[in-house]
Structures are given as C-alpha cells and as structure tokens.
C-alpha cells in the first residue's frame, strides 16, 4: 500500500527499505484523494513483484486520481483563457474591501467592442483577477466545453452530473457596482460538475469558484461541502444538459428587451471554434486530449502549454463570423441580424425527457439551517415551493419551466414562467503554473 513520511515501510514485507528507495514506477506520480503525492516503496524488486496482485487496484486508483486533478487544472486554464478572450464587462475602477474585490462598471458607448480587456492596470493579485474573470461565469464550462470535458473524463469516470447549488450572497468575493454607484444583487446560485470515478471516489470540479474565494479547480466531495459550508443542492442535471440548450437559451434571451445579447452569441461561436480546434489538434499531434492528463509530468507540461497556446488562436477563429457583420466591429450598437449569428451555430439535440432531479433537504442532507430559513416556513404553512425542472417539448423554443413542489418530490401541473436570467453566461507560458497540482 502507498506510504509517505520520513520512515516509509516496504509495502510487501513491512521492513524499512534502503535508500534510495525502490517504488512502483507505474504510479510514481499518483496522488491520494486530496491530490497529495503518494508512492509505494519496496525493499527489493522481489518484494515489488510479489506485491503486484495486491497493489494493482491501488495503483490504478492513484493514477485515476492524478488524472482527475490534472483534468481540473487543464479545465481551469482553458476557462481562464476563454474568459480573458471574451470578458464582456467594461470595468472602470477596481477597489479592495478586505478580501472582496469591488469592480466599478464603466459607461458603455457606441465605439465599444463586444469584449473588453480584463482590468490589469490595477495591480491585482492573480487570485483577485480570477475573482473578476469568474464572476457569474460558472455555466460557461458546462455549456461551452461539454465535449472537451467528456473527452478528458471518459476514461476515469463512471458518472458525471451538472449540479446547481444555492450560495449565500455574502460568500461572494467580488462585487459588481453599477454606473449609478449601486451594487448589483448577488445571484444566489452556482454551478459545478460532479464526477464519480470507477473506484467510487467522488470529486467536484469547481472551475469558477474563485468568485467565492474558492481557488481549487477540483475538490473531493467532502472537502467541497466543507468549503461551501454544506451548500443546498437545488438541482442535478444530466451531463450535457447545458450544452444541449445553448441555442435555445440564446434564442430565448434574444426575445427579451433592453439588453445586448451579442456577447453570449459570439462566445458560443468561439466555443464552437474551440471544439473544432480540439479535433484538429488531436489529429495534428496524433494524441487524444484525454492522454494529456495521464502523461508523465514533463510531457504533461509541454502538452498543456502547446494545447493552450494553439487553442488561444483556435478560439479566436470563432470571431471570424464577424467578418460577415462588419457593422458590429465599426459600431457597438449597430443593428445586426443576430438571429443569423445564432443560426450559424450547430444545433445540439436536446436531452430527451426530464433531466433534472427535484431534491429536498431530507434526501440530500443539505444545510438544515439554510433550508429552514429559505423554505421551511413556506412549506410549514402549507405553501408550495417553486423548484426548477427541465422539460423538452420537441424542437420548440421555450424558457425553462418551474413546477410547484411540496418538498417531498411531488409536484402538480401549475407552471409559472422563469424570471429572466442575469448571467448567460492566459496565455500560459511558464512551467511554474503547473507546480501546484490543484490550484491553477
């Protein structure tokens, strides 16, 4: 079995092995459940050979855990790069209040492009920059990079789910201030990806957690619940739900008045260009992206650097759609048939049937205090509780519905409209970015 510490013992005979110590070379880069390095020492090659039947399962598990943590790093680097290229807020000023970043939105005018530079002139730390870039962008990864996630995780996971959780607004470590000086209300929702490995380990990919001061790309399930003080789970979606609704959501958003919807449309084109790039990169490099996370560390670093730098150019190819709409470039508020931009996106088939599970506190063991404060009094008074559920109605375009739930998993046929959503939602050069296996 793997052992660490200053006095490791041979996994086969239990004696202290000589130094330098012989270890299993198949899992020499393996990690434990928390992402910490682990190794399996032996006295001799004979001990190692004798231990193979016993060690094999643990060897495979350590490597799958390594794969999970490295996948989290790659996803977060891709997410950070995408946000850098498609940041759609105009920030005029940034201030700090304790560990909270205050970003003051600037006045928009006709000369503005669709995207803006991340506010780099305010001498922010890397963590503070990530708080800003991740602001209300948690859905980007699962909506825009579903195929990429699937490719990275297909060899090691037995189940993947998109999970929506309730977040106390007070947990936000970034505050958006409107041009009138008033803060935008914090949206009490966050989205993560939950994956169960073939070994039964449960992990949570929290790629956009920086906005809540959570900077780890991936966490074991228990560590994740501890970080968020046992969050209330509002719904669990089948993996692919977000991606299957990209076009439908864009068309729904387009029907609402008063907001510029060009940014999410162009982001979707850039994400499509990224998907095309992934396929081309795999062909030109003669390697599958899922093999990146399993490579020995020096090769892992080189592959990721190559992938990101090439991927940056590939993602920007998504802006080529603007060549047919020059007025967007020349005039930020020019009229343009954005429906035609949407129609240029490949339509993704919706997931058939309901893909959301209605949850209640007793089933999910979510925070009882939060549950009681938010929902308990309403349910105790005999009232109904609005809970989201996904419905697929052919190919028609309609917003998500809300069914009424009594908190016991039962619902009736009364439906209300979902309110308008508030969120549609670096080039890496240094190997130092890879030294910490989990905090990209």
Q: Tell me whether residue 12 is in a domain.
A: no
164 and 285 together in one domain? yes
pLDDT value at position 73? 97
Q: Tell me whether residue 32 is in a domain.
A: no
pLDDT value at position 243? 84
Give the pLDDT band of residue 362 (cuts 50, 70, 90): very low
Average pLDDT over residues 210-232: 92
Give the pLDDT band of residue 440 (cuts 50, 70, 90): very low
pLDDT value at position 363? 34
Axis crossing angle, helix 297-316 with helix 45-85, rounded to the nearest 10 = 20
78 and 171 together in one domain? yes
3-state SS assignment for residue 341:
helix
Q: Is the pLDDT of residue 175 over 80?
A: yes
Q: Tell me whether residue 60 is in a domain.
A: no
DSSP string, 137-178: -THHHHHHSHHHHHHHHTTTEEEEEEEEEE--GGG-SEEEE-
Please, are residues 303 and 288 in contact by the beta-carbon 8 Å criterion?
no
Q: Tell me whether residue 37 is in a domain.
A: no
pLDDT value at position 311? 93
The predicted-structure confidence for 399-411, as pLDDT tens digits, reads as follows 333 223 333 333 3
Q: Which residue has the higher pLDDT, 342 or 393?
A: 342
Q: Tell me whether residue 15 is in a domain.
A: no
d(CA 209, CA 79): 12
387 and 276 together in one domain? no
Q: Which residue has the higher pLDDT, 46 or 359?
A: 46
pLDDT value at position 343? 66
Give the pLDDT band of residue 143 (cuts 50, 70, 90): confident
DSSP string, 173-196: SEEEE-TTSPBPPPP-EEEEEEEE
pLDDT value at position 310? 93
Q: How far is CA 189 from the centre of its chain?
A: 14
The predicted-structure confidence for 86-134, as pLDDT tens digits, reads as follows 999 999 999 999 999 999 999 887 777 888 988 777 778 999 999 999 9
Q: Is the pLDDT of residue 2 over 70?
A: no
Q: Tell me whether residue 338 is in a domain.
A: yes
Q: Which residue has the higher pLDDT, 117 or 261?
A: 117
DSSP string, 236-277: EEETTHHHHTHHHHHHHHHTSSSS--HHHHHHHHHHHHHHHH
Average pLDDT, the chain: 77
pTM of the model: 0.76
Backbone angles phi, psi at 283, to 5 degrees: -70, -45
- DSSP β-ladder status, 100-105 and 174-177: parallel
97 and 208 together in one domain? yes
Q: pLDDT above 70 covers what percent of the chain?
A: 69
338 and 376 together in one domain? no
90 and 137 together in one domain? yes
Q: Is the pLDDT of residue 137 over 70?
A: yes
280 and 388 together in one domain? no
233 and 329 together in one domain? yes
Q: Tell me whether residue 38 is in a domain.
A: no
d(CA 85, CA 308): 12
Q: Tell me whether residue 102 is in a domain.
A: yes
Q: Is the pLDDT of residue 273 over 70?
A: yes
248 and 121 together in one domain? yes
260 and 389 together in one domain? no
pLDDT value at position 340? 65
149 and 294 together in one domain? yes
Identify the domain containing residue 182 by its residue range. Answer: 66-348+424-434
Give the pLDDT band of residue 377 (cuts 50, 70, 90): low
Q: How many domains does the chain have?
A: 2
Q: Is the pLDDT of residue 279 over 70?
A: yes
195 and 269 together in one domain? yes
Q: Is the pLDDT of residue 299 over 60?
A: yes
The predicted-structure confidence for 146-161, as pLDDT tens digits, reads as follows 999 999 999 999 999 9
Give the pLDDT band of residue 320 (cuts 50, 70, 90): confident
């Amino acid at each position: 079995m793997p052992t660490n510490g200053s006095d490791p013992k041979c996994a086969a005979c239990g004696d202290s092995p000589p130094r330098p110590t012989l270890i299993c070379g198949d899992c020499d880069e393996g990690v434990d459940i928390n992402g910490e390095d682990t190794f399996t020492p032996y006295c001799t090659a004979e001990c190692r050979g004798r231990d193979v039947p016993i060690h094999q399962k643990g060897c495979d598990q350590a490597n799958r855990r390594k794969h999970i943590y490295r996948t989290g790093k790659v996803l977060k680097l891709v997410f950070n790069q995408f946000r850098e290229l498609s940041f759609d807020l105009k920030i005029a000023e940034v201030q700090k209040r304790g560990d909270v970043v205050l970003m003051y939105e600037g006045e928009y005018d006709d000369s503005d492009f669709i995207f803006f530079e991340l506010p780099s002139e305010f001498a922010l730390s890397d963590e503070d920059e990530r708080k800003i870039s991740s602001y209300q962008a948690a859905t980007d990864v699962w909506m825009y990079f579903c195929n990429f996630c699937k490719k990275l995780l297909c060899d090691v996971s037995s189940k993947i789910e998109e999970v929506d959780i309730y977040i106390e607004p007070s947990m936000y470590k970034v505050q958006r201030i409107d041009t009138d000086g008033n803060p935008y209300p914090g949206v009490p929702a966050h989205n993560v990806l939950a994956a169960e490995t073939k070994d039964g380990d449960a992990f949570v990919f929290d790629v956009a957690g920086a906005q809540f001061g959570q900077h780890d790309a991936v966490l074991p399930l228990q560590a994740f619940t501890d970080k968020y003080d046992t969050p209330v789970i509002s719904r669990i979606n089948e993996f692919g739900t977000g991606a299957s609704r990209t076009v439908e959501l864009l068309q729904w958003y387009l029907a609402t008045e008063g907001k510029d919807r060009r940014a999410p449309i162009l982001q979707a084109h850039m994400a499509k260009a990224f998907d095309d790039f992934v396929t081309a990169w795999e062909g030109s490099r003669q390697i599958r992206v899922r093999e990146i996370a399993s490579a020995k560390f020096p090769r892992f670093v080189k592959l990721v650097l190559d992938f990101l730098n090439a991927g940056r150019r590939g993602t920007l190819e998504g802006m080529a759609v603007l060549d047919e709409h020059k007025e967007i470039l020349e005039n930020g508020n020019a009229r343009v048939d954005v429906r035609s931009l949407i129609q240029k996106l490949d339509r993704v088939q919706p997931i058939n049937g309901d893909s959301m599970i209605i949850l209640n506190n007793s089933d999910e063991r979510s925070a009882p205090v939060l549950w009681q404060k938010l929902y308990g009094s309403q349910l105790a008074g005999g009232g109904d509780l609005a809970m989201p559920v996904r419905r697929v109605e052919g190919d028609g375009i309609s917003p998500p519905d809300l069914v009424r739930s009594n908190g016991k998993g039962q619902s009736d046929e009364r439906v209300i409209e979902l309110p308008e959503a508030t969120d549609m939602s670096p080039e890496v050069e240094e190997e130092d970015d890879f030294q910490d296996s989990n905090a990209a």
